[in-house]
């Protein structure tokens, strides 16, 4: 073997930084992609797919930067060796660039040509556009994306094996891709070990990464083919829930929808028993729940108001009115929320609010009441009935109840989202709050 000699030339600091950053991201992405195939529908699946997409675009941008540096900045000459060996090394490097660029692009095509157009926000913050391509691109991109995943795995193995081969021969191949301070063989060996542990750790981290409802969730693309369908489904689920208009987690500090509404039979109460105003206190909740492929999806609204007038002995004079700011929907995922507020679901630009107004209040015995009324949502008005319990203690009341409505009756979920085989039509709405008697 030749004596270990640090190479007289090395890669630039930027090339070195990009090389190791991409190594970690690629191993994490590869592991996460394979894991996505085991996810079942749910919030976790949605979150995992969104992360997969975000990392994919990051890899694309960093790979283009790395390629630009390779083409414009002088780099060390290749190690001399047998022609077949040099040819193989060159082929591996070229294919790695192809995979690093083509992988994210095929995934981008998958998302852009999916049946359901789910908005993409990189890491939940930066909007990323869809490519202007037709559905005919979807199937080829899906096949290529899956192939690229396996090709990447093989290339990584060959690349690492080549680095170890040269290091064992005491050739400073690895040292050229390390900071200049690591010039001695001992330092290079230690750095190589740390690097291998690091990229292996990235692979393991993707397997252990925690997502909501973890074993069954996800918006991405393992072998990224799954991306479109899975994301769509999740988005559908989320949307259906929101479509349920007033259902799910409530908005703290907001007033609960069906405030203290507890009427009694129709009778003419005296003035002392007449219905009085009630003010919903902070901390109330207004939520919704929908079913997506057998898995529940929940959410809520952060901003809503309730105008309540109620008297147990004056049900005829009791009324409930609730207004919900649909833009305040909160499903624990910013990308899904952006989709729900879009024109495919709530279309808040045209219909920013949902309103419920009771037409009567009926006592059902004990502390149970029912309030039939009309819900106006997405430009449609349909009858909806609230069932609730009400406990009054002096000037304080505790109310809790629910309602069920069909999202399709309000046109929530258009186009492909209108199908009920993924997101069930019925959506349950729940509320719970405290109210105080007052003007």
pLDDT tens profile 275-296: 999 999 998 999 998 886 667 7
185, with CB counted inside 10 A (0-12, 13-18, 19+), is middle
Most confident residue range from 44-58, 155-169, 329-343, 344-358: 344-358
Fold of domain 235-437: Lipocalin (2.40.128)
Could you give the CA distance from residue 202 to residue 37 in angstroms, rounded to a whole number? 19
C-alpha 61/C-alpha 101 separation (Å) is: 8
pLDDT at residue 232, rounded to an integer: 39
- Average confidence score pLDDT of the chain: 75
Joined tokens for residue 348? 């808040």
Q: Cα angle at 29 between 28 and 33, to 5 degrees?
A: 120
Q: What token pair was written down for 298?
A: 């929940």
Note whether 216 and 45 are within 8 A (CB): yes
* pLDDT value for 367: 94
Phi, psi of 358, deg, nearest 5: -75, 150
Strands 120-122 and 380-393, by their bridges, are unpaired
Residue 94 contacts residue 63 (beta carbons within 8 Å): no
The kind and range of the H/E element at 37 are none
What's the token pair of residue 409?
């009756």
CATH 2.40.128.110 positions along the chain are 235-437
What six digits make up the tokens of 260?
């203290």
Q: Say if residues 356 and 326 touch (Cβ distance below 8 Å).
A: no
Collect all residues with Cβ–Cβ distance below 8 Å to 122 and sequence separation of at least 6: 53, 54, 57, 58, 128
Least confident of 201-205, 220-224, 327-331, 337-341: 220-224
pTM given for the model: 0.49
**431: pLDDT strictly greater than 80:** yes
State how far the Cα of 321 lies from the Cα of 317, in Å rounded to an integer: 13
């Amino acid at each position: 073997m030749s004596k270990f000699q640090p190479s007289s030339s090395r890669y630039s600091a930027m090339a070195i930084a990009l090389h190791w950053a991409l190594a970690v991201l690629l191993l994490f992405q590869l592991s996460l992609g394979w894991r996505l195939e085991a996810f079942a529908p749910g919030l976790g699946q949605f979150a995992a797919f969104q992360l997969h997409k975000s990392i994919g675009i990051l890899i694309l941008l960093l790979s283009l930067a790395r390629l630009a540096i390779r083409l414009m900045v002088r780099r060390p000459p290749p190690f001399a060796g047998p022609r077949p060996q040099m040819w193989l090394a060159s082929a591996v490097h070229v294919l790695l660039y192809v995979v690093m660029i083509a992988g994210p692009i095929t995934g981008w095509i998958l998302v852009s040509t999916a049946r359901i157009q789910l908005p993409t926000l990189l890491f939940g913050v930066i909007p990323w556009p869809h490519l202007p391509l037709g559905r005919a691109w979807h199937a080829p991109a899906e096949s290529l994306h899956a192939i690229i995943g396996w090709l990447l795995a093989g290339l990584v193995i060959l690349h690492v094996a080549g680095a170890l081969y040269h290091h064992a021969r005491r050739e400073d191949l690895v040292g050229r891709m390390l900071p200049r301070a690591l010039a001695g063989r001992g330092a290079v060996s230690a750095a190589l070990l740390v690097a291998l542990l690091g990229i292996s750790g990235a692979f393991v981290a993707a397997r252990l990464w925690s997502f909501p409802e973890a074993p069954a969730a996800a918006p991405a693309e393992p072998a990224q083919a799954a991306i479109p369908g899975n994301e769509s489904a999740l988005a559908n689920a989320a949307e259906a829930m929101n479509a349920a208009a007033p259902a799910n987690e409530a908005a703290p500090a907001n007033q609960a929808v069906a405030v203290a509404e507890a009427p009694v039979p129709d009778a003419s109460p005296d003035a002392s028993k007449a219905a009085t105003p009630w003010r919903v206190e902070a901390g109330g909740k207004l939520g919704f729940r929908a079913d997506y492929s057998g898995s529940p999806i929940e959410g809520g609204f952060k901003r809503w108001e309730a105008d309540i007038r109620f008297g147990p002995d004056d049900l005829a004079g009791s009324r409930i009115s609730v207004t919900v700011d649909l833009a305040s929907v909160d499903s624990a995922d910013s990308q899904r929320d952006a989709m729900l507020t879009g024109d495919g679901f709530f279309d808040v630009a045209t219909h920013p609010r949902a309103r419920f107004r009771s037409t009567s209040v009926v006592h059902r015995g004990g502390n149970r009441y029912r309030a039939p009324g009309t819900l106006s949502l997405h430009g449609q008005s349909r009858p909806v009935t609230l069932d609730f319990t009400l406990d009054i203690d002096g000037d304080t009341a505790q109310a809790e109840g629910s309602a069920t409505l069909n999202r399709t009756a309000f046109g929530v979920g258009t186009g492909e989202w209108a199908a009920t085989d993924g997101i069930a039509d019925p959506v349950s709405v729940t509320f719970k709050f405290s109210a105080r008697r007052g003007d």
